[in-house]
Structure 1
Amino acid sequence: MSNHPSDGSIRRVRDERGTSSVPPNVPEGVPERRELRVGAKAFVTDRDRVLLVKERREDGSTFWTLPGGGVESGESFAECLRRELDEEIRCRATVGERVGRCVYRHTSRPATTVYSVFDATLGSEPEPNPTERVLDHAWLEPADLLPTTLDPVERFIHQSVAGTDGDR
């Protein structure tokens, strides 16, 4: 594989937070209790391209995101990311340093996940695992992200390209 952490074509972002949005199933003015989750995402690059995976929600709708998922009890971020990459795209990975963060407010359930994003290098080409609801993968240039890319992921990638740093 020719991908490797921080190959210089995409600049790192220290932090990114999405704007909050109320899920459609919560009436306006009603306080919502949300579960706070912690997760890890992989920022895998190859030249000017970023690896995204297409996932399926329980309702059947699909979206594109960085590979990764939730940290389990007693698991480090690196352990989580290696496990998630093995499960989702059947790849062993080397996890590098943390390069940013994105916050995702789920719309399908009352939860918010704070994802730490890490440089990662894959040991093989991704093979999506449908049993993990991962249907496809794509190596995309930041200007060519697909319309169903999650907003916080899209903002993270665009800020990486623009070279902006700092807390938002």
Structure 2
Amino acid sequence: METVGEATPRVAVVIFVVKGNSVLLGKRRSSIGNSTFALPGGHLEFGESFEGCAAREVMEETGLEIEKMKLLTVTNNVFKEAPKPSHYVTVFMRATLVDPNQDPENMEPEKCEGWDWYDWLNLPTPLFWPLEKMVKSGFNPFSD
């Protein structure tokens, strides 16, 4: 097994915030996946539940309050390329808005260019590669 420096796997929780047939995506500003469209999400904190992490990250990034969270799937993503090799176990959740009329705000402009709703059958490109891989596999966040 090849190791990369002191890199250790981390856990990320990402959220399909759904409204009608659309999902909320933001354009990343990051050393990993810069200028790709991705779901809101972030690192699981010590002692935190998946649902707690999902609600916190969506609020921190978009200002939106979510509910009806459900675990959809888990993926194992290794980013070997520089500048920062990393390994993420990614927990994918689905949630809906507490207030469907609320619009997302860009709460972290240094990390994201902005948030918008995109029809699941007409997603923007390029997608962040873990999300692109799921879409190409036929994954559907709307089915149980």
Cα displacement (A) at 1:128: 1.5
1:83 to 21, 33, 56: 56
Cα displacement (A) at 1:35: 2.0
Deviations 1:40-85 (A, max 9, x none): 1111222222211112015993221111111011211111111111
- 1:71 aligned to 2:44? yes
Distance 1:120 1:58, change over 3 A: same
CA distance in 2 between counterparts of 1:64 and 1:81 reads: 18
- 1:140 aligned to 2:118? yes
- SS for the counterpart of 1:112 is strand
Contact 2:26–2:112 under 8 Å retained in 1: yes
Structure showing the higher strand proportion among its residues:
2
Unaligned runs of 5+ in 1: 1-29
CA distance in 1 between counterparts of 2:125 and 2:67 reads: 29
Contact 1:129–1:135 under 8 Å retained in 2: no
Which letter does structure 2 place at the counterpart of 1:160?
F
CA distance in 2 between counterparts of 1:31 and 1:121 reads: 39
Equivalent residue number for residue 127 of structure 1: 105
User: TM-score, normalising length from structure 1?
Assistant: 0.68
Distance 1:74 1:94, change over 3 A: same
CA distance in 1 between counterparts of 2:58 and 2:126 reads: 21
User: TM-score, normalising length from structure 2?
Assistant: 0.77
- 1:110 aligned to 2:85? yes
Larger Rg computed on CA atoms:
1
Equivalent residue number for residue 160 of structure 1: 139
Q: CA RMSD in A?
A: 2.8
How many residue pairs get matched? 136
CA distance in 2 between counterparts of 1:60 and 1:118 reads: 20
| Runs of 4+ residues deviating >6 angstroms | 162-165
Distance 1:150 1:103, change over 3 A: farther
